Structure 1
């Protein structure tokens, strides 16, 4: 592809990014505006025009997945040799190279987890800690280190940041722990995750010869997700740059959601002050989401008023799609069942399961959705669970593929992989049953799908696939596995799906009850914005009035929706332009005689199956059946909480009970 052809693939704003090859550049890129496309084409254009030597470019990102995607895109553009890594991966690589000549010997062992060291340090200064206390103190140590706050300054710095110490501890005790923790590390001769950046930055500061060597190697820098840079990461970037200004940063203040880890949009918002004369390019054309989704995202930030700093107004580029849905449920169980039913209908209508996500504020919320999806016979994956490349079937499959790569010559990549993985349990048809067997198949199928992708490249062989898998494994850049994604809003950052369900949108969850300051609440709004902008086409919002079936309906929906849906919740009177407001079935209309008959039937099923009654069907489902009196399977499927699996198991019995008690409800 020629240099001019690279530019032809970009819109005017993206082209402006690609043409800004020298000097400081700040790209303010809204969600879905093609920022990765813009910066990878910028690098490729710089290489094609001779402005950059590939090996002189260092692109740093915040996740291994993003780094892997950047490398893949650059390779597809015909560019090899560019280093695309996370801050920590780049720093660890450099530290490993320079440590022997600066300090001598091997780099100290990197500890994976702080827990044992934190517990040891706490005991040494007389602090009583339990498991949760150790976790909270470890997080506080990380915040202090990435914020460049030494132990002597911790009390004042935490107060200035309006950051209360972990529950059960005072700021002075945390400050003493910081010192004890560093001493514990020193005694054991180990370093932690943050030390990789701190130590490298210290070497570059104290050794001009080393700094000069790094700066001769890397002359051009690209920093993605710059709104999430911590003071420590900025400090290291400053050492890499020296007095130069050859840096392109890309970010969106509206997607700053990690301030609890020390991330701050300050460096993005003040980039022009640090680098006078910087070119600023705004990407606002949203190619990801429908106008309905984009409008809701824009209004979510607009409603923040003065609390929203530096936000971008997105402009939708896709054709109109379905309206956004807002539903209020009676309780968490009904919400999970209702969402599972809607997911089932989307999949039946043709949306692949891997293109559906259920997002929530806290990881503890996932259990109800896992159960509801399992009851509905829908496969799912919990993001943040076991890593793909750590799964036994994946490790075994890669061993088999490495062996085959040494002996397979002319067979197409896809066919060769199918033959090899058939010996590991893969088959052309997915197992009908859910559970461990299907999960293993899904993992192997992901390898097959990646093989087809690699095989589509001209001249690709099984050796190329194995190399791609090794690279992805080192970067934890897993291929897509078929199944509905369950993820927290934080874990969803950087991802996108055709259909997104934003759940649990009630006060106390969104914003979370721990958000007690204006700044914390503003970040919770940005977190909701991130969730909204993950959706390409279908977007459903929901919340539950009570935690448990029959519990007190004391919850209210999140304040963030008040200006967007001003006339009430899902029972509201007016339909906003971008959203569908749905009135849930009033279960108070349930026929009491029919409801008693349904409960009696459920008791019998529970006894026969040795299960609690509520696991058969919850009270809310029975009440809705008694209120709507479904006369067919399709009508029964509209009841929230009754998915395909429940219909197969209980549908005939439920419909027969309704028929015996007067049949379908009289049309209004």
Structure 2
């Protein structure tokens, strides 16, 4: 496609953003303004200008977004050219760099990625070695603090220097010991990926120069979500060329609690002098009524880039603010309204409805009511499949194959199932680890260590090490992962051992089904790859699965109403949206009122409003049960921003018409169905 043809398919503002190739560009993309379209058309335009695809690097925050960009790009340019453009998440890009160059920092390229529970285990180990009683010490808080320090590019010595309290000083000590243990185990946590790339770029200028030469054009999506580490890496990569385009919306910056720094997008023109700023304000998602409400809400925030969303989709239905008596009647109203709207508008399906809430605990009443009314729903954010104990155990077995230094994985699986290695053997491994500075797995395989064990335990240790040696060889060849993993888990005794781990037969069978489903997921992963993948590549893919990628899986194609937090809804859209519990201390959250961070709560409310395409209901209850006590509530101060000009105040009685005979018959049929299933 010719350059001019590409730009003709965009509106004037989009074309300006896509057609400015050189120098720094900030694209302020309001909700629903065609952000992904602009990004993909910009890359297509760059390619049409003769820029080699290998020189273009696009980074975003989710695998889903990266995949969607690549799919759309392949519709604009030849698929083989689209494949040569580097598109991925920040973390996947960093892993690519580290696999190649991490040896310069003293790690082995076969490092594994410690998940949250692995990190907790290492932190407990660190606390034990420093003599802290971790049972009474808030290690969860320390874990979060270490993450925040790493996102600010603080190494342990920096953390010690910035510690203002006794707690922070202790946390800084733990950080140092934690980091030492991770390095000994050749493991990285999620935040290390950014921190170590920063180290590589600053300590080894030749590595930075190589990547600057390779990637001469950078494009960053969701720039409002970047933290200090990501900002610094981008700044280092751009160098003097500064061919950098960032796309984002400061009005949707809702992740400060994860380290996101809104000043990165607000201060872009200062950070990159001479930057061109393009505002995308035409919304292609929502009606004018919904956008008027959104503009009023976000307009009350002072610290922002000025934008005004508008739409050609017509006025549509007014936004409704619905007051109910209590939480129960709020849920009843939503269920009845869904049924009524489906009856009145046959084109609507259950999957067109979303119920959003500020905090997860608010879903309980909604779930009970929807079940009772026989309305199918899916709850986003329940227990994640890959966090189930039996799946984490299976993953630990595989991680040890890739990285024999991973003590945390070994400790997890050594007694899962029981194999005759008592606690005494585990304690000996820990002692040997400290004394000999050898990985526990290496010690376990040594004859000298096995002599200290009972004959039964020594035989178990020998067999365990032999099976690992056999399969390490098999996994050296890429491909056939699902088959090899099944055989390995059988031979190592895990699959048949599930019955010994979970004594209840039904529970053990359910866990086995979940492991089988895990194998199926691996098969599907293999089918999606262009070349036979390695076990290392699969584990990397698994570690980089973002929350939003899991949300995508959970909100698939099943026809059901979606229940989710507002945070989880970002990036999604629905024809009909209900936002519940619009009450003081719930939305905005009481913590935000105490800490003075109401601006982010207001942005979160703006995100909730802009998920709706046609119908938006904002609900508040006069009283709500909290912590077992029914209390009177006050309306959210955010509702006061919505005057009668932009929202209609009403009640369930005014919105729900009397049920027809058919609907009454259906309701009775549902009741009988429930009674019959309970017998």
Q: Would the aligned equivalents of 2:290 and 2:616 in 1 still touch at CA under 8 Å? A: yes
| Cα deviations by residue, 1:194-244 (Å, 9 ceiling, x for unpaired) | 111111221122222222221222111100111111001112212322333
Structure 1 counterpart SS, 2:618:
strand
Q: Would the aligned equivalents of 2:351 and 2:562 in 1 still touch at CA under 8 Å? A: yes
Q: Would the aligned equivalents of 2:333 and 2:652 in 1 still touch at CA under 8 Å? A: no
* CA distance in structure 2 between the partners assigned to 1:71 and 1:84 by the alignment: 7
Structure 2 counterpart SS, 1:539:
strand
Structure 1 counterpart SS, 2:305:
coil
- Which residue is equivalent to 2:62? 63
Change (3 A) 1:6 1:264: same
Q: After the TM superposition, which residues 118-517 of structure 1 pair with which residues of structure 2 at under 5 Å, given as runs? A: 118-129=123-134, 133-151=138-156, 154=159, 170-304=167-301, 306=302, 308-348=303-343, 349=345, 350-385=347-382, 476=549, 478=553, 480-482=556-558, 483-516=560-593
Please state which structure has a larger fraction of its residues in helix.
2
Change (3 A) 1:531 1:156: farther
| Cα deviations by residue, 1:411-460 (Å, 9 ceiling, x for unpaired) | xxxxxxxxxxxxxxxxxxxxxxxxx9xxx9xx9xxx9xxx9xxxxxxxxx
* CA distance in structure 1 between the partners assigned to 2:570 and 2:338 by the alignment: 21
* CA distance in structure 2 between the partners assigned to 1:63 and 1:157 by the alignment: 32
* CA distance in structure 1 between the partners assigned to 2:176 and 2:104 by the alignment: 28
- State yes or no: 1:87 paired with 2:90: yes
- Which residue is equivalent to 1:99? 102
Root mean square deviation, CA, Å? 3.8
- Which residue is equivalent to 1:595? none
Offset, 1:578: 2.6
- Which residue is equivalent to 1:4? 4
Offset, 1:154: 4.7
| Cα deviations by residue, 1:460-511 (Å, 9 ceiling, x for unpaired) | xxx998869x999986464832222221111111111111111111111111
- Which residue is equivalent to 1:582? 650
Give the paired residue count.
Answer: 523
* CA distance in structure 2 between the partners assigned to 1:564 and 1:204 by the alignment: 49
TM-score by length of 2: 0.69
Residue among 608, 625, 649 paired with 1:531: 608
* CA distance in structure 1 between the partners assigned to 2:258 and 2:23 by the alignment: 30
Structure 2 counterpart SS, 1:32:
coil
Change (3 A) 1:334 1:129: farther
Shifted more, 308-317 versus 80-89: the winner is 308-317
Structure 2 counterpart SS, 1:202:
helix
Q: Would the aligned equivalents of 2:325 and 2:621 in 1 still touch at CA under 8 Å? A: yes
Q: Would the aligned equivalents of 2:319 and 2:648 in 1 still touch at CA under 8 Å? A: yes
Offset, 1:548: 3.3
| Cα deviations by residue, 1:168-199 (Å, 9 ceiling, x for unpaired) | x9434333333332233234332111111111
- Which residue is equivalent to 1:573? none
Residue among 109, 114, 120 paired with 1:115: 120
* CA distance in structure 2 between the partners assigned to 1:546 and 1:279 by the alignment: 50
- Which residue is equivalent to 1:53? 52
Residue among 555, 558, 572 paired with 2:636: 558
Change (3 A) 1:181 1:389: closer
**Unpaired runs of at least 5, structure 1:** 160-164, 393-401, 404-435, 452-462, 566-575, 587-623, 638-643, 654-668
Q: Would the aligned equivalents of 1:344 and 1:376 in 2 still touch at CA under 8 Å? A: no
The structure showing larger relative contact order (alpha-carbon pairs under 8 Å, at least 6 residues apart) is 2
Q: Would the aligned equivalents of 1:633 and 1:647 in 2 still touch at CA under 8 Å? A: no
Q: Would the aligned equivalents of 2:94 and 2:197 in 1 still touch at CA under 8 Å? A: yes
Change (3 A) 1:100 1:466: closer
* CA distance in structure 2 between the partners assigned to 1:177 and 1:233 by the alignment: 25
Structure 1 counterpart SS, 2:582:
coil
Offset, 1:77: 1.6
Change (3 A) 1:120 1:466: closer
* CA distance in structure 1 between the partners assigned to 2:185 and 2:113 by the alignment: 11
**Unpaired runs of at least 5, structure 2:** 391-478, 481-509
Structure 2 counterpart SS, 1:310:
coil
- State yes or no: 1:15 paired with 2:15: yes
Q: Would the aligned equivalents of 1:252 and 1:311 in 2 still touch at CA under 8 Å? A: no
- Which residue is equivalent to 1:457? none
Offset, 1:47: 0.6
Residue among 601, 618, 624 paired with 1:541: 618
Shifted more, 488-497 versus 187-196: the winner is 187-196
Structure 1 counterpart SS, 2:32:
coil
Q: Would the aligned equivalents of 2:357 and 2:566 in 1 still touch at CA under 8 Å? A: yes
Q: Would the aligned equivalents of 1:375 and 1:646 in 2 still touch at CA under 8 Å? A: no
* CA distance in structure 2 between the partners assigned to 1:134 and 1:152 by the alignment: 20
Change (3 A) 1:175 1:317: farther
Structure 1 counterpart SS, 2:634:
coil
* CA distance in structure 2 between the partners assigned to 1:499 and 1:155 by the alignment: 50
- State yes or no: 1:32 paired with 2:32: yes
TM-score by length of 1: 0.70
Change (3 A) 1:382 1:648: closer
